[in-house]
Amino acid sequence: GQNIDQPTEMTATEGAIVQINCTYQTSGFNGLFWYQQHAGEAPTFLSYNVLDGLEEKGRFSSFLSRSKGYSYLLLKELQMKDSASYLCAVSHGSSNTGKLIFGQGTTLQVKP
Amino acid sequence: DGGITQSPKYLFRKEGQNVTLSCEQNLNHDAMYWYRQDPGQGLRLIYYSQIVNDFQKGDIAEGYSVSREKKESFPLTVTSAQKNPTAFYLCATAPTGGTGNTIYFGEGSWLTVV
């Protein structure tokens, strides 16, 4: 079967670093996405990994290991506005990049 | 402005009633998708379409129907056969063969059964 797992909830302190893990088992792999979603809003794109390694974009970094079926999202210098759900998603179509399988999301609470 | 427009933002459905959610895009994308999100959950794929006049079932298509008569439009009908339709519905688009970061989401529609 196809499955994506990520922790349900995490709590961190403002200014700290937090790592959100994601493991996946899918029938195909065309890349892994991380999205941020505030309650009641559409997901916002954060990062995309298709090759192994680390992609850095400002305060956010994402890592992928295809052999291990593993990714993580790293958030540095946490701010209160980072409190949101973080969704891990795998694209498993060939050229069908929008056909995504999502994890259940990790709700991150940033405390002062 | 370029983008995806979903309407209505909020919709209430009575028991046994069919309702249609609209999704319109002016991005000239070939592929369009409908996802459902339940509280505290990730998104699940309902239907998708890669080209006009063609569409495919996703993981949870039962109780839903779609059409793709125009490239710009991909409406979703929630039928009375969908027993638990209360959810947040998201439309997305992507160019066929595009790179991974070219998936765009609409603002979403909230459907509540009353």
List, for residues B35-71, the tens digit of each pLDDT value: 999 988 889 999 999 899 999 999 999 999 999 999 9
Q: Cβ–Cβ of A42/B106 closer than 8 Å?
A: yes
Task: Provide the pLDDT for residue A73.
Answer: 98
Q: Band of the pLDDT at B95, cuts 50, 70, 90?
A: confident
Both tokens of A80, joined, read 């209160």
Q: Which of A110, A96, A109 is nearest to A8 (CA)?
A: A109
| Chain A hits for B97, Cβ within 8 Å | 95, 97
Interface contact A31, partner B, CB < 8 A: yes
Q: Band of the pLDDT at B101, cuts 50, 70, 90?
A: low
Q: Which of A38, A59, A55, A37 is nearest to A47 (CA)?
A: A55
Q: Residue A59 corresponds to which amino acid?
A: R
* A108 has a pLDDT exceeding 70: yes
* B1 has a pLDDT exceeding 70: no
Q: Band of the pLDDT at A106, cuts 50, 70, 90?
A: very high
Please, what is the average pLDDT of chain B?
Answer: 90
Farthest CA pair distance, chain B = 41
Q: How far is A61 from chain B (nearest CA, A)?
A: 15
Q: Is the pLDDT higher at A29 or at A9?
A: A9
Task: Provide the pLDDT for residue B39.
Answer: 86
Task: Provide the pLDDT for residue B19.
Answer: 94
CA dist A95 and A89 (Å) reads 16
Q: How far is A95 from chain B (nearest CA, A)?
A: 5
What is residue A65's three-state secondary structure? strand
Identify the closest residue of chain B to A37 by CA–CA distance: B42
List, for residues A52-96, the tens digit of each pLDDT value: 999 999 999 999 999 999 999 999 999 999 999 999 999 876 655
Q: Are strands B87-94 and B104-105 parallel, antiparallel or unpaired?
A: antiparallel
Interface contact A42, partner B, CB < 8 A: yes
Q: Band of the pLDDT at B16, cuts 50, 70, 90?
A: confident
Task: Provide the pLDDT for residue B114.
Answer: 84
Cβ–Cβ < 8 Å for B34, B91: yes
Q: Is the pLDDT higher at A13 or at B82?
A: A13
| Chain A hits for B25, Cβ within 8 Å | none
Identify the closest residue of chain A to B58 by CA–CA distance: A99
* Nearest-CB residue to A96 (from B31, B40, B93): B31
Average pLDDT over residues A3-22: 97
Task: Provide the pLDDT for residue B42.
Answer: 87
* A23 has a pLDDT exceeding 60: yes
Q: Band of the pLDDT at B81, cuts 50, 70, 90?
A: confident
